[in-house]
Structure 1
Amino acid sequence: MNDNVVDLQTAWLHNGFGVANDVPSLLQAASDAGANTVDSKLFYYEAYEQEIETDGWSIDPSGWRPLTAAPSAGVETAVVPPEASWLTALIGYDVVVFGDYLEHSPLSCNSIAGEAKVNAHCLFETLEEAQAAIANGVFGGGCEDGVYQIFSVSTVEVEAGA
């Protein structure tokens, strides 16, 4: 568990996906919050272009719709992908719940990872596995209500001096 997590939503620095637009913005927010970023890991997220809404009990697999931005975004969504010279590694796919903002991952927060096939990072290996878990009701039965979105999760190693 890392206690040096910067809460971009409290600082109103999150975009329509609930995260920072770029590395410099994230590092500035960390500095402003007094967070120690030495030996920190950065993660880069990409959102799947569709989302699905649930009442927490059941999910209609035909209910996929185009992705919508979080209404509470504090900054314009203008994502800057990692520089080509930075090392990135895809570590899996997460299913996250949105209400008015990015809330959390039911895989870990609701112990769904105990029922679903996940990797060592508590993530699905593929987008198709995440989609299938949603379609097959893994997140039903009283899990979480809200809008479910799928994010790819990659680690990022920023080039020295960047």
Structure 2
Amino acid sequence: MIPLGYLYKHVADRPAWLTAAHVADVYSLSGCVSKPFADYVDYWKHNGYWLFNSPHEITELANAASISLEGLRLFYYEAYELQFDEDEKAWEAFEPEPFATDVVAPISKKLEGFDIASFTMGDMAECSPLSCNSLASRLPVNEHCLLGSFEEAKAVVEGGGLEGCEAGPYRVVAVYSV
């Protein structure tokens, strides 16, 4: 797995339109349901995976911009080293954008599950079909709208489970609480 980085998020409760009653909240990588702490791209402090190399970098940005992190959750993300091209039906390599990318591993982390995210622009995660396209209503996701294992997530991607969802390529992402 490739370390992608960190992000503070406003964790949203399960939206009413997501008919997966066992889902309590959404821990997805994308910001469609659970929003990032700010529109941080405008500050150009993110790394090549459009996340942050350390929690300290986020805290510095938040302090400088008077952004409160109170009540937010800190997540750490890692991705499978290949992304899936749904047109070619094949896994392919991907690289970070040319920004300083030197992710500091967390001292402790708790694996919450695995997300699948679309990356049509090649940089920032756009959508997480488990929540954004309501796949959680028909897939065995946990209470945080994540799949329980890497193998499950990879099988969904390879098995055509994302047909009719947002365009890819897709990346399988491990989501950790820190």
Match of 1:91 in 2: 112
Measured against aligned partners, the alpha-carbon deviations of 1:50-83 in whole angstroms (never above 9, x if no partner) come to: 111235xxx72xx0112332x4x6x311111113
Question: Are 2:148 and 1:125 equivalent residues in the alignment?
Answer: yes
8 A Cα contact 1:6 1:29, kept in partner: no
Structure 2 letter corresponding to 1:107:
L
Find the aligned partners of 2:132 and 2:142 in 1 and give their Cα distance.
16
AA matched with 1:15? N
Alignment-derived partner of residue 37 in structure 2: 5
5+ unaligned residues in a row in structure 2: which ranges?
1-11, 13-33
Cα distance in 2, alignment partners of residues 30 and 96 from structure 1: 26
TM norm structure 2:
0.72
Aligned residues: 144
Deviation (angstroms), 1:15: 1.9
1:93 CA displacement: 0.6
- 2:101 is matched with 77
Shift in Å, 1:104: 2.4
Task: Tell me how far apart the structure 2 counterparts of residues 45 and 38 of structure 1 sit (CA, whole Å).
Answer: 21
Q: Secondary structure at the match of 1:43?
A: strand
**RMSD over aligned Cα atoms:** 2.0
Shift of the 94–4 alpha-carbon distance from structure 1 to 2, 3 Å rule, reads closer
Structure 2 counterpart of 1:12, which letter? W
Match of 2:170 in 1: 148
Q: TM-score, normalised by structure 1?
A: 0.78
What is the aligned counterpart of 1:46 among 78, 89, 103? 78
**Identity of aligned pairs, percent?**
36
CA distance in 1, matches of 2:42, 2:71: 24
CA distance in 2, matches of 1:33, 1:136: 44
1:3 CA displacement: 6.3
SS at 1:91 equivalent: strand
Residues 53 and 102 in structure 2, CA contact (< 8 A), matched pair in contact too: yes
The residue identity in structure 2 corresponding to 1:146 is G
Runs of 5+ in structure 1 lacking a partner? 157-162
1:66 aligns with 2:93: yes
Aligned residue identity for 1:148: Y
Distance 1:23 1:130 in 2: 27
Residues 88 and 154 in structure 1, CA contact (< 8 A), matched pair in contact too: yes
2:129 paired with 1:106: yes
* Offset of residue 106 of structure 1: 1.4
